[in-house]
């Protein structure tokens, strides 16, 4: 295992993602993780992440200096590199010029991390401070025109630091650098596979639950479906799966979930279908603020589950399909909150269960799919379109109404149908229709209209933490637009969202 200590950078989970691409298991923990806990976990290596602070600011997050006395290889990235240098006696100060974005880096051949990296490569920089004087025992292994110590190493103590971000795709050979660290100084074999995760997780669930009962929040999406089957493999009929139709699902979604997971489906689940759409609509009436909508949906989900649990009898555990991007975006350690996911930051303070089990909490989306295939779940379910827990509530800008839900359902069904007809459904990682809060003048036939604008979104991504807008052929877009405008009442305009992530998020809210 490699431990990543989080110092507040927003995309620190990408470090774990890149390490796992080298088939080495990796977990992210807050920088406040105690030395005793680190010893107990016995990692092969430790990575210190980036962050927004200055190490010389007394209020900035630091780690225990004993970390550097454990005899474990340590890699510092950006803020983590500066922190290592600062705590070991080097100097860190404000750079004469801030570096941000793709930067040319000159590599020294005496660096252990750079043996397979080009002498002149490109790295992604994002800093205003820099290491002006490395600590004793370190050598400089890379530099830029601005940063005289873009990378430093003390190979004797197995301490390594890079000012740039090898975890992002903009760093051309970043994967090689991270792989060199985990397979070099750390001595990891690179043999971790998804079947290891599945087997280990099933053992851990059995041990935790024992003879208790668990209630799974099953939405029918990829994440909750994999979580449900994983739990079922572990504890069998001790699991009850509750599907809540909050009235914010895609067209035909509820019927589809019933077919797959209901009593006539292929899985031996205690399946309960709860129709709660009127309850959710009432709670959401007039609410336009995105975070407030998420919080309301999250709390109402929990209340429904609590009520169903009481009907079943004593239930000890609530199971959710939370995945790693949900955890990170909802805030980990000192990281900023992008948006509260209903199954993470959207939970109410009091939950009437002994504990929440999130068996997929440490997995990225593609890893969840791999786990699903390992569990024997059919490809058509494993590769279905991702769908957020709050559903269409966060694909409708502004207040939610039954009429707006109808519009999004109809437009989205057309969009998905035409994408599939064009053979693009497996090329795009996520695509959906959303409803703007904008109404504009149009003309249909000889009549003036004043209706809504539907927004289409399609992205390509491997980890769902960064994404690029997909290029959909113009003729396909035109066909989709014509069908939506002509077939969906209340719509007279269709827009395509070109925004990448960052600066946008994949969902609208």
What is the distance between the terminal CA atoms of the chain, rounded to a whole angstrom?
35
* pLDDT above 90: percentage of residues in the chain: 51
Is 70 exceeded by the pLDDT of residue 80? yes
Residue 51, pLDDT score: 87
HSE of 3 in the Cβ direction (CA atoms, 13 Å)?
22
Is 50 exceeded by the pLDDT of residue 342? no
Residue 329 banded pLDDT, cuts 50, 70, 90: low
Q: Is 480 within 8 Å of 411 (Cβ atoms)?
A: no
Q: Is 309 within 8 Å of 215 (Cβ atoms)?
A: yes
Residue 171, pLDDT score: 82
Residue 268, pLDDT score: 77
Residue 366, pLDDT score: 83
User: Which of the two residues, 112 and 43, has the higher pLDDT score?
Assistant: 43
Task: Determine whether 462 is exposed, middle or buried from the number of CB atoms within 10 Å of its CB (0-12, 13-18, 19+).
Answer: middle
**Span 253-269, average pLDDT:** 83
Element (H, E) at 457: strand 447-460
User: Which of the two residues, 57 and 465, has the higher pLDDT score?
Assistant: 57
Is 50 exceeded by the pLDDT of residue 371? yes
In whole angstroms, give the CA distance from residue 457 to residue 468. 11
Positive/negative CA dihedral, 76, 77, 82, 83? negative
Is 50 exceeded by the pLDDT of residue 341? no
∠ CA(25), CA(330), CA(430), 5° rounding? Answer: 75
23-73, pLDDT tens digit by residue?
999 888 999 999 999 999 999 999 999 888 899 988 899 999 999 999 999
Mean pLDDT of the chain: 87
3-state SS, 18-46, equals HHHHCCCCEEEEECCCCHHHHHHHCCCEE
Residue 336 banded pLDDT, cuts 50, 70, 90: very low
Positive/negative CA dihedral, 153, 155, 156, 157? positive
Residue 346 banded pLDDT, cuts 50, 70, 90: very low
Residue 10, pLDDT score: 65
Residue 11, pLDDT score: 65
403-424, pLDDT tens digit by residue?
999 999 999 999 999 999 999 9
Residue 333, pLDDT score: 47
HSE of 251 in the Cβ direction (CA atoms, 13 Å)?
15
**Span 149-162, average pLDDT:** 93
User: How many DSSP H helices and E strands does the chain contain?
Assistant: 14, 18
Q: Is 268 within 8 Å of 232 (Cβ atoms)?
A: yes
Active site members = 78, 165, 167
The winner for highest mean pLDDT among 70-84, 160-174, 384-398 is 70-84
Residue 338 banded pLDDT, cuts 50, 70, 90: very low
Is 70 exceeded by the pLDDT of residue 331? no
């Amino acid at each position: 295992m490699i431990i990543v200590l989080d110092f507040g950078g927003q995309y620190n989970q990408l470090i774990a993602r890149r390490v796992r691409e080298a088939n080495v298991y990796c977990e992210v923990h807050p920088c406040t993780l105690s030395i005793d806990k680190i010893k107990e976990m016995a990692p092969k290596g430790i990575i210190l992440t980036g962050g927004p602070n200055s190490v010389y600011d007394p209020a900035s997050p630091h780690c225990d200096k004993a970390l550097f006395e454990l005899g474990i290889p340590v890699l510092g990235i950006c803020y983590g590199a500066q922190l290592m240098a600062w705590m070991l006696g080097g100097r860190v100060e404000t750079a004469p010029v801030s570096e941000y974005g793709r930067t040319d880096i000159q590599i020294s051949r005496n660096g252990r991390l750079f043996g397979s990296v080009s002498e002149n490569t490109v790295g992604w920089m994002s800093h205003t401070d820099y290491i002006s004087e490395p600590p004793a025992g370190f050598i400089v292994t890379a530099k830029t025109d601005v940063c005289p110590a873009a990378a430093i190493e003390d190979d004797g103590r197995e301490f390594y630091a890079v000012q740039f971000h090898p975890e992002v795709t903009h760093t051309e050979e970043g994967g090689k650098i991270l792989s060199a660290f985990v397979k070099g100084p750390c001595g990891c074999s690179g043999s971790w596979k998804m079947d290891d995760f599945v087997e280990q997780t099933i053992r851990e669930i059995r041990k935790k639950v024992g003879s208790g009962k668990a209630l799974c929040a099953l939405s029918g999406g990829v994440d909750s479906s994999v979580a449900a089957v994983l739990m079922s493999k572990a504890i069998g009929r001790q699991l009850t799966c509750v599907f809540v139709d909050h009235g914010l699902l895609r067209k035909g979604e509820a019927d589809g979930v019933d077919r797959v997971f209901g009593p006539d489906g292929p899985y031996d689940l205690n399946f309960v279908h709860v129709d709660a759409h009127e309850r959710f609509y009432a709670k959401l009436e007039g609410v336009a603020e995105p975070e407030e909508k998420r919080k309301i949906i999250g709390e109402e989900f929990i209340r429904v589950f609590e009520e169903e649990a009481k009907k079943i009898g004593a239930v000890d555990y609530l199971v959710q399909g939370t995945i790693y991007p949900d955890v990170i975006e909802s805030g980990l350690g000192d990281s900023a909150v992008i948006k509260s996911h209903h199954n993470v930051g959207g939970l109410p303070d009091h939950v009437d269960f002994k504990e929440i089990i999130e068996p997929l909490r440490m997995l990225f989306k593609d890893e969840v799919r791999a786990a699903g295939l390992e569990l024997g779940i059919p490809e058509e379910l494993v590769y279905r379109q991702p769908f957020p827990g709050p559903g269409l509530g966060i694909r409708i800008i502004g207040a939610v109404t039954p009429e707006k839900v109808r519009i999004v359902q109809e437009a989205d069904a057309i969009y998905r149908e035409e994408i599939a007809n064009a053979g693009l459904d497996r090329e795009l990682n996520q695509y959906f229709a959303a409803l703007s809060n904008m109404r504009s003048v149009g003309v249909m036939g000889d009549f003036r209209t004043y209706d809504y604008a539907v927004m289409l979104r399609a992205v390509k991504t491997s980890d769902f933490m960064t994404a690029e807008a997909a290029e959909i052929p113009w003729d396909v877009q035109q066909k989709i637009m014509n069908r939506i405008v002509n077939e969906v009442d209340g719509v007279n305009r269709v827009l395509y969202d070109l925004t990448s992530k960052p600066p946008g998020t994949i969902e609208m809210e």
